Structure 1
Amino acid sequence: MKLHHFIPTCLVAALLGSAAAAVSAQNIPADILASARASGVIRIANTQSSPPWSLIDDKLQPAGYDVEVAKEVARRIGVAKVVFVADSFKNFVEGLKAGKYDMVMNDLTPSPEREKQVDFAAPYGVEDFRIFVLASNASIKDKPDLKGKKVGVTTGTTNESWARANLKESDIRAYDNGGFVFNDLGNGRIDAVISSHFGGMKYANVNKLPIKEVGPVLIYQLSAPAMPKGQQPLKDAVSKAIGDMTRDGTIDKLARRWVGADFDMVGDIQRALQQP
């Protein structure tokens, strides 16, 4: 009679987890900045479906505020070419940890949970988040009116986490694509959407949706480049580039082009940094 070795399930899971982590680590250069400078290419993820931050233009190329900031940051850190990788918000953190791309620059907000898993450089953007409803809706005017209502958010975004934390008595519906959530608002499948002023108004104008924003600003949310943990040279170089772009007017110039002629990007970043 042969005796079979018994390996506890928990040990098997631990071994598999260690193997997966090792594979992910192998996909990430020890020094992303040095590797990108040597190859002349850096891979930066965005959704390509969240205007005005990232979108596909009429030439079928990535465009938008975050895209233009990313290109200028790459130039200033000594990398000639950016390869933009399309992905969804919910995948960004895991994508970085798995080495699918070197950075994320797409309206991604530093949060305590995210900062446990990835690093962030200096912020280069900010958004004010509001409530959007149908233009004909007269009953929802502010946050308390969302009690018992179906509220749409984009999966994996900080407006989803904010809504789940602050709208406990609402029915939160998460969508992988920001466009779909506004389509469902326009079709009456949900009662409201939590979104940025710029994102919401862009969808309303481009798709001619009968929606409006109501109530005061719910929260300001910063956006900053995200990268795998332990990439200090990359983090320092990107933060310096963004600081220089802030001081020399590049950030404001790109914001006026893509976000709005009267938008005070640098001023709002400072206000967001000072909010409780």
Structure 2
Amino acid sequence: MLPKIRLSLTPIIAIFACTAFSAFLPATAHAAGALDRIHANGVIRIANTQSSPPWSFLNDQNKPDGYDVDMAREVARRLGVPKVEFVADSFKNFVAGLKTDKYDLVMNDLTPTPERMLQVDFSAPYGVEDFRIFVRQDNKDIHGDKDLTGKRIGVSTGSSNESWSRAHLPQAIIQTYENGSLIFADLGIGRIDAVIISHFGGLRYATERKLPIKEVGEPLTYQLSAAAMRKDEPELRDAVSKAIAEMKADGTIEKLGQKWVGKEYDMVGSIARAEAEAK
């Protein structure tokens, strides 16, 4: 009977040994095939809110559009991936969505904050914006951030403007919204006193919806945006960063910035200035 016992245990011992060995492998060994998997599937899943113009929104054909959407399509093309599948999600879910493999990248005006960088990785930056205060046209009380004490401030849930507002405006009443258009709807009817959002996003909402709102004060903060992905996917991160570097060099980023943000806007130069300021 002893030989039979030894033979029956051999596969179990082998399985145990393989399992134990794999537990000590670095995380990159498990995730090394991320870019290969994307190429094999022929599709890359990219998340955005589809409600934060000019970065991402649904156009008249109910299709994703905007600066980040065009950037995502061009990154995919340069990676050699024939199809982009856009996944609508909110800022507060982006990190969890990456961790649970709901999508491969997030490209939607997402700032690589220290808190986020502990949980996910980021590519080289491809966008930048300044955040401002927007109020109703008839508002005569708010002229800058010093006037926001006790005021009701609308921000997008889970966004960097929410975290900035909570850190720098402790005396204000912060109200969060899942959808950017709802923030301005509430501003228009007086449910909130001000909105903190990007200069570009605020002006686009005002123009497209013919809202009686205005921008006040100096820029509150400048924030870079980059593509986010799961931790320990160096091949994907480096490939995306390489594509972005090429797009900076050949004028693609400048062209898309002027298309979506404004003909006079210097996206590449603004990214360089923001990076220098951050250092």
Q: With the length of structure 2 as denominator, give the TM-score of the two structures.
A: 0.88
Per the alignment, residue 178 of structure 1 pairs with 180
Structure 1 stretch displaced more, 219-228 or 203-212: 203-212
The question of whether the paired residues in 2 share the 8 Å contact of 1:29 and 1:35 is answered with no
Q: Distance in 2 between matches of 1:61 and 1:178?
A: 17
Q: Matches of 1:225 and 1:179 in 2, distance apart?
A: 24
| Residue 199 (structure 2) aligns with | 197
Alignment match, 2:118: 116
Equivalent position of 1:54 in the other structure: 56
Is the 2:125–2:227 contact (alpha carbons within 8 Å) kept by the matching residues of 1?
Answer: yes
Q: Secondary structure at the match of 2:50?
A: coil
Q: Could you list the per-position Cα deviations for residues 74-118 of structure 1 after superposition, in whole angstroms to 9, with x for gaps in the alignment?
A: 111111110000001110000000000000000000001000000
- Aligned length, in residue pairs: 250
1:138 shift after superposition: 1.1
Inter-partner Cα distance in structure 2 for 1:110 and 1:31: 24
1:137 to 130, 136, 139: 139
Q: Deviations over 1:173-216 (max 9, x none)?
A: 11111111111111111111100011111111111111000000
Are 1:93 and 2:119 matched, yes or no? Answer: no
TM-score (norm 1): 0.89
Unpaired segments ≥5 residues, structure 1: 1-24
Q: Does 1:166 align with 2:198?
A: no
Structural mapping, 1:237-276, within 5 Å: 237-276=239-278
In structure 1, the residue matched to 2:189 is 187
SS of alignment partner, residue 222 of structure 2: strand
Q: How many Å separate the matches in 2 of 1:248 and 1:100?
A: 32
Query: How far did residue 29 of structure 1 move?
Result: 5.9
Q: Offset of 1:31 from its aligned partner?
A: 2.1
Distance 2:66 2:257 in 1: 10
Which secondary structure does the structure 2 equivalent of 1:43 belong to? strand
Q: CA RMSD in A?
A: 1.2
Q: Is 1:76 matched up with 2:78?
A: yes
Give the match's secondary structure for 1:121: strand
2:153 to 151, 163, 172: 151
Residue in 2 that maps onto 1:13: none
Q: Distance in 2 between matches of 1:230 and 1:34?
A: 14
Question: Which SS does the other structure have where 1:132 is aligned?
Answer: strand
Structure 1 residue 41 displacement after superposition: 0.4
Identify which range, 231-240 or 32-41, moves more after superposition: 32-41
1:103 is matched with 105
SS at match of 1:216: strand
Equivalent position of 2:229 in the other structure: 227
Deviations 1:220-275 (A, max 9, x none): 11110000001000000000000010011000001111111111100111111122
Aligned residue runs from structure 1 range 35-50, under 5 A? 35-50=37-52
Q: Give 2:67's aligned amino acid.
A: Y
Q: Give the Å deviation of 1:30.
A: 4.5
Q: Look up the equivalent residue of 1:252 and give its one-letter code.
A: E
Q: Secondary structure at the match of 1:163?
A: helix
In structure 2, the partner of 1:21 is none
